[in-house]
Structure 1
């Protein structure tokens, strides 16, 4: 076991498959063990490379292995898949993980700290609460529509219509049981609003106390939500060599095709985190009207783009540019300046 240089681990909920390779790539060890067994096995080995897929529990296990003196390499599962041989099983997956970790051009995922994982958990919980609130609002709209009451789009319009209907029970045409049901649904709506507001306040506090998030929050269209989510996802951005690499990681880079010998841009790849991409695009859509009216280099670029491209295309292009600006601010530890240059 002292000759093991690469330890490939295929993580499972309960049991894990482990494959050890020597310097020449020969398999010296095959074992199936629980997660606690992986830590015990690694403790008996001299410092080596431990390769895993970046999945649930990988960052926690990776920090424990780093504390033992090992080098942990996390990879996206899609980059490991080409190295899996036929007759796929857990042992072959572990072998593919170990082999993929030896490739010089492989892209690795940085280990996340416990604080980063905590922020990501809060973002996932908030996203779930927002989805529940949207579902509740749509159900209220459908209940009213079944009774011939059409509500204009918008949250405020729905609240105004509900206030009018429930304040005049005789004129509303709603039965007593339906009014009670709507009262209960409005209470649920308010409870969801309160929980989301508490999380928003917590994100705002994080952005004030974290230097990286504070720098990112100065970028138009990024704000508190996107800043904390980006810091939790990429840290200081050191895993990306260029801002374009971060944009490609979020799937904001357009695909290319060749038609008649001429390159043609298609839709974006939509790879990476759907949640992060949604936040960035929504932020860009909100900031576009204001930025397009400014006399800054960014405003001039946006006005030229709006004159020759569809609005949705401009939104995605702006989102990609904002992400590249965010990477530059993280790497250079600077603040955003409207002039187009970074401020110290």
Structure 2
């Protein structure tokens, strides 16, 4: 243990071992050490309260909650924000020093510690997404097998499965072995449907028992999946209050390029949480026709935008607006209100 008090402790979290770098109040490195995860917890328990910084990676939230319970101030950062502070060639020790230095910057953006409940919900969403991707791959394989044999079926999973039931797999003009393969693929797709439906029912039950999730689900285009995914990724209303521009955090705002005094609007940045961005865009696409047909201010805004922009552009713009509505709903702690009718 160093005799110089440690003001900031940077930890480069590894699978088995972690590299530590301690800075004093002047920013000088006074400690370099490598130890196991269990030893890190023991080491920080004997330290006076200080700032403990880590990259927001796998295992960092559990370690951060453990260290925070010891009285330390935990700061998690995105790895891309730490990279500019790495000196010379990359090593674990230099990474730990860069993490400690980055945590002292006044303009640094930090990641909120996730609770165990948030991580559980996030794991459920990832498991459901894996099943959805597997089901999509399975349906594409089924359509390709039939297409190679001259059988063209309509797009869309539900339409395809309904059409197959109407035709009957026994009446398809394919070989006996392919009959069996098609039956196996259909049975596997049905089993995946049931497993995905079980996750959806679990999310629905959670939404009914959670006030914040119910408020989010009241927003058109958000629904059960997006409501629970947002709570899992960002957290409670206090965390949303810090992320004032949630649309920018999700990469839904357009990039800008300035040259010769002119500003040109480019595509969206696609930064941040890819899963949430995709889900919000899907939700906006599903809700856009219904919202545009309503005589509300949101409907009037959509109608005007659709008159001068491509529908795909409008979908992304609506997703960005939904992200800002999400922030406002949780910040003000009340359900979504579509507002007064649009004036002529």
TM-score (norm 1): 0.95
The aligned runs of 1:45-194 (5 Å cut-off) are 45-169=47-171, 172-194=172-194
Q: Once the 2 structures are TM-superposed, how far is the Cα of residue 241 of structure 1 from its aligned partner?
A: 5.0
Aligned to 1:307, what secondary structure does the other structure show?
A: helix
Structure 1 contact 76–109 (Cα < 8 Å) conserved: yes
Structure 1 contact 226–279 (Cα < 8 Å) conserved: yes
For 1:336 and 1:29, how far apart are their aligned partners in 2?
Answer: 51
Q: Indicate whether 1:236 and 2:236 are aligned.
A: yes
| Residues 61, 340 of structure 1: alpha-carbon distance in 2 compared, 3 angstrom cutoff | farther
Deviations 1:200-250, CA, capped at 9 Å, x for gaps: 000001111111111000001001100000011111243455765211110
Gaps of 5+ in 2: none
For 2:219 and 2:241, how far apart are their aligned partners in 1?
Answer: 21
Report the aligned-residue RMSD: 1.6
Q: Indicate whether 1:337 and 2:337 are aligned.
A: yes
Q: Once the 2 structures are TM-superposed, how far is the Cα of residue 304 of structure 1 from its aligned partner?
A: 1.1
The aligned runs of 1:184-263 (5 Å cut-off) are 184-239=184-239, 241=241, 245-263=245-263
Aligned to 1:264, what secondary structure does the other structure show?
A: strand
Deviations 1:139-188, CA, capped at 9 Å, x for gaps: 0111101111111112233213433554544xx22111111111111111
For 1:74 and 1:141, how far apart are their aligned partners in 2?
Answer: 45
For 2:195 and 2:236, how far apart are their aligned partners in 1?
Answer: 30
Structure 1 contact 166–179 (Cα < 8 Å) conserved: no
Worse-matched range after superposition: 255-264 or 16-25: 255-264
Deviations 1:238-288, CA, capped at 9 Å, x for gaps: 345576521111001100112542212110000011101000000011111
Structure 2 contact 281–315 (Cα < 8 Å) conserved: yes
Structure 2 contact 19–32 (Cα < 8 Å) conserved: yes
Deviations 1:94-114, CA, capped at 9 Å, x for gaps: 000000000111111110110
For 1:322 and 1:167, how far apart are their aligned partners in 2?
Answer: 43
Structure 2 contact 204–224 (Cα < 8 Å) conserved: yes
| Residues 180, 292 of structure 1: alpha-carbon distance in 2 compared, 3 angstrom cutoff | same
The aligned runs of 1:244-323 (5 Å cut-off) are 245-323=245-323
Q: Once the 2 structures are TM-superposed, how far is the Cα of residue 300 of structure 1 from its aligned partner?
A: 1.0
Aligned to 2:47, what secondary structure does the other structure show?
A: coil
Structure 1 contact 284–318 (Cα < 8 Å) conserved: yes
Gaps of 5+ in 1: none
Q: Once the 2 structures are TM-superposed, how far is the Cα of residue 48 of structure 1 from its aligned partner?
A: 0.7
Structure 1 contact 243–323 (Cα < 8 Å) conserved: no
Deviations 1:299-326, CA, capped at 9 Å, x for gaps: 1111111111111111111111111110
